[in-house]
Amino acid sequence: MCGIIGVTGAADPLQVMLDALALLEYRGYDSAGVVLVGDNRLWRKRDAVRGHSLETLRHAAPGAPTHMSSGIGHTRWATHGAAVERNAHPHCDCTGRVAIVHNGIIENYQELWEKLAAEGHTRSSETDSEVVAHLLERELANGAGLAEALRRCVAELRGDFALAAVSTHEPKVIAAARRTSPLILGQVDGIGLVASDIAALLGTTRTLYQLEDDEIAEVRPDSISVVGLDGRDRELKPLKVGWDLVAARRDGYDDFMSKEIHEQPRALADTLMGRIHADGTTELEDLRLTEVELDGIERVVLIGCGSAFYACLSGRIALEHWARMPAEVEIASEFRYRDAVLGEQTLVVAVSQSGETVDTFHALREAQRRGAKTIALTNVVDSLLAREADGVLYTRAGPEIGVASTKCHATQIALLQLFALHLARQRGTIEPEEGRDLASRLLALPGLVDRAIARLDDYFSVADRLAEVQDVYFLGRHVGYGVALEGALKLKELAYVRAEAYPAGEMKHGPIALIEEGAVVVAIATRGRLLEKVMANIAEVKARGATVVVVCDEYDEATKAVADHVLEIPAVPELLSPAVAIVPLQALAYGVARARGNDVDRPRNLAKVVTVE
């Protein structure tokens, strides 16, 4: 969470920072701020009006001093300290000659503050981050250069962090460091750059480098040097770039979410194409696990958070059904702290759009520590997870900027299904003919999603009729349960509507007590082996006064007849239905959110990338 940018050597560092912060805003938008360094002073501007702080900075730009050498900027998702201006980054030391920006959490900040306070430092925010500015002040006073001061300071920090710092002592230098939270470096035509992700730098340079854990960089206009915590020189490691800037723009859509919903067919096609051949064989290029290693796998544990976790639910069903592989699903943040029993016959698949989610990352490390083989299933090439895992499965969805996951969720499901087919063939649990058939059905998914997207206006008109809804219950069974969970999450995070998802069969074990006249129930009632049972569950809530919305197959008149509102999708083979059935629920949440005047790309309290626990 939080976006960081640093620039040195640019003619107009402020403009470079403002452009980059606009591309980083999806990481957090509680506040934003910049510092410029030059003329032996710092110029700082911060603002904390959620989602609008960048506008304030833009308006302030004409009043900024010119001829400044460098600067650092930040867009914040608040952790320690409320989302108010005094807690907005950059933070300064007591002298006003050092400024820092930070992403992550400094776990021992209280302890460090006590020492600093005893030395006479005073703080001006409630953040954990500010401590770093004062630690730097102390080391600079002891004679260290900025990068060396940061190295000494990092040695004292506990937690996960990415940091960039400037000081009036060396106005052309940006010092940067990281532990777990990502930070990348860039260089072009006498300009040095630091940023928390690729999106921020694509418009400026494609010559990018990655910084590893506990490395400290000194970035100057025409050079970058890196040392480890021990002070020894480290090599600069080039970073692969898979996207271009155009892909990170709205392209005429009202918002990124709308663009990303429409991009789902292409994202699915790109994720599947070239990986399934006409004869039904599969090829997963970055899997990096040999056939012998895969043969040795006796159990798969799928982990993720939020929508990624819900994608895992569909993955489990596919692994069990086609590959006859024992499979479990775990929320990464819980898995990490359980005493999970894992061994070298266990394969842990960590699913994460960003490849940065700190819970998923630490869960993967824990799995490795316990001897399991690991795969990262991610959308970001060379992300933290991709670098850490034994093998990688890349979704090829392109950048997903809207906070609510859409195209990445759909591609995660499809790629897990493709992986299940891959294992099924290898384990001989499906006949070649069945494998061919399944491959061709998987390849038909983009077209089916496209047909669902063609019905978006129908879905939006149901959303309009439900715009005032208060509480919604999503019901599904089997593959429909994961869809129900994801549909409820979309409605919560975008429309701020209380929404709960239940396996439909569980309703009568308690939750049905909540159903009364006016309750809204969304049932996933696509054709499959449990449709009759779902219909019975629909009858039970209808009998108690619920308004029923069904997601059902087109031409399924019997199901439509019991519903108050219908969200039709093209008929899809049962196990492959989640990637299609989720489209109307994305649209429902989008439509209700828009009707309520909510910002669908930047819903309140959220950030796209969750890099704190």
Active site residues: 2, 608
437 to 25, 206, 432, 580: CA distances (angstroms): 44, 41, 9, 19
Question: Would you count residue 2 as binding ligand M6R (CB under 6 A)?
Answer: no
Q: Measured from the CB atom, is 306 or 435 closer to ligand M6R?
A: 306
**Closer of 186 and 306 to ligand M6R (Cβ):** 306
Contact flag: residue 271 with ligand M6R (CB under 6 A) = no
State the minimum distance, in angstroms, from the CB of residue 440 to ligand M6R: 29
Q: What is the number of helices (H) and of strands (E) in the chain?
A: 20, 25
Would you say 148 or 356 has its CB closer to ligand M6R?
356
611 binds ligand M6R (CB under 6 A): no
Q: Indicate the SS3 state at residue 279.
A: coil
How many residues make contact with ligand M6R (CB under 6 A)?
15
Please report whether residue 307 would count as binding ligand M6R according to CB under 6 A.
yes
Task: Indicate the SS3 state at residue 330.
Answer: strand
160 binds ligand M6R (CB under 6 A): no
- Closest CB 431 distance from ligand M6R, rounded Å: 34
Question: In angstroms, what is the minimal distance from the CB of 21 to ligand M6R?
Answer: 20
User: Which of 336-344, 352-360, 470-478, 571-579 is the region at the interface with ligand M6R (rule: CB under 6 A)?
Assistant: 352-360
Minimum Å distance from CB 411 to ligand M6R?
11
Instruction: Give the shortest CB-113-to-ligand M6R separation in angstroms.
Output: 30
Q: Judged by CB under 6 A, which stretch of 154-162, 206-214, 305-313, 505-513 contacts ligand M6R?
A: 305-313
Should residue 87 be labelled a site residue for ligand M6R when binding is judged by CB under 6 A?
A: no
Comparing CB distances to ligand M6R, the nearer of 146 and 610 is: 610
Tokens 């989720």 map to which residue? Answer: 582
Q: Which of 69, 264, 352, 547 binds ligand M6R (CB under 6 A)?
A: 352
Selected binder of ligand M6R within 103, 127, 353, 611 (CB under 6 A): 353
Taking contact as CB under 6 A, which single stretch among the options 239-247, 303-311, 338-346, 473-481 is the one that binds ligand M6R? 303-311
CB under 8 A, 24+ apart: contacts of 255-258: 255/402, 255/600, 255/601, 256/26, 256/400, 256/401, 256/402, 256/601, 257/402, 257/404, 257/406, 257/494, 257/586, 257/590, 257/600, 257/601, 258/590, 258/600
Strand-pair category, 565-569 with 520-524: unpaired
Query: Would you call 281 helix, strand, or coil by DSSP?
Result: coil
**Distance of alpha carbon 80 from alpha carbon 103, whole angstroms:** 11
Minimum separation from the CB atom of position 33 to ligand M6R (A): 25
Beta strands in 290-423 (DSSP E): 299-304, 327-331, 346-352, 373-378, 391-394
C-alpha span between 343 and 327 (Å, rounded): 14
What one-character DSSP code corresponds to residue 275? Answer: T
When binding is defined by CB under 6 A, the residue of 360, 547, 559, 577 that contacts ligand M6R is 360
Judged by beta carbon, residue 175 or residue 364, the one nearer ligand M6R is 364
Q: Can residue 329 be called a binding residue for ligand M6R (CB under 6 A)?
A: no
Q: Which two tokens stand for residue 400?
A: 């997903």
357, 395, 586, 598: which one binds ligand M6R (CB under 6 A): 357
- What distance lies between CA 59 and its chain's CA centroid? 30
Which of residues 405 and 577 has its CB atom nearest to ligand M6R in the complex? 405
Does 610 engage in binding with ligand M6R (CB under 6 A)?
A: yes
Instruction: Give yes or no for residue 453 binding ligand M6R (CB under 6 A).
Output: no
> Which residues from 395-434 bind ligand M6R, rule CB under 6 A?
403-405
Question: At closest approach, how far in Å is the CB of 412 from ligand M6R?
Answer: 8
Q: Is 549 helix (H, G, I), strand (E, B) or coil?
A: strand
Q: What are 294's two structure tokens?
A: 């895969």
Binding of residue 308 to ligand M6R (CB under 6 A):
yes
Nearer to ligand M6R, 105 or 566 (CB): 105
- 557, two tokens: 């008149």
222 vs 235: CA distance, rounded Å? 16
Reduce the DSSP state of residue 5 to 3 states and report it.
strand
Cis peptide before 90 (omega within 30 of 0): yes
Question: Which is nearer to ligand M6R, 77 or 109 (by Cβ)?
Answer: 77
The answer to whether 265 and 453 have CB atoms below 8 angstroms apart is yes
- Nearest distance in Å: CB 355, ligand M6R: 7
Q: What are phi and psi of 449, to 5 degrees?
A: -65, -40
Q: At what angle do helices 264-272 and 578-595 cross, to 10 degrees?
A: 150
Quote the Cα angle for 345-346-351, to 5°: 150
Look up residue 44 and give its amino acid.
Answer: R
Decide: is 550 part of the binding site for ligand M6R (CB under 6 A): no
CB of 27 to ligand M6R, least distance (A): 11
If one asks whether residue 306 binds ligand M6R (CB under 6 A), the answer comes out as yes
For 36, residues 6+ apart whose C-beta sits below 8 A from its C-beta are 13, 14, 42, 43, 44, 64, 65, 68, 70, 71
Task: State the DSSP H helix or E strand holding residue 537, giving kind and residue range, or none if neither.
Answer: helix 531-542
As measured in angstroms, the least distance from the Cβ of 335 to ligand M6R is: 13
Whether 200 contacts 164, CB under 8 Å: no
Q: Measured between alpha carbons, how far is 264 from 248 in angstroms, rounded to an integer?
A: 15
Name which of 261 and 305 has its Cβ closer to ligand M6R: 305
Query: Which residues on adjacent β-strands are paired with residue 276?
Result: 282
| x/- letters, 457..496, toward ligand M6R (CB under 6 A) | --------------------------------x---x---
DSSP code for 90: P
Q: In whole angstroms, give the CA distance from residue 442 to residue 76.
A: 40
Q: Minimum CB separation from ligand M6R for residue 386, in Å?
A: 12
| Rounded (10°) angle between helices 130-141 and 146-156 | 120
What is the contact surface with ligand M6R in residues (CB under 6 A)? 305-308, 352-354, 357, 360, 403-405, 489, 493, 610
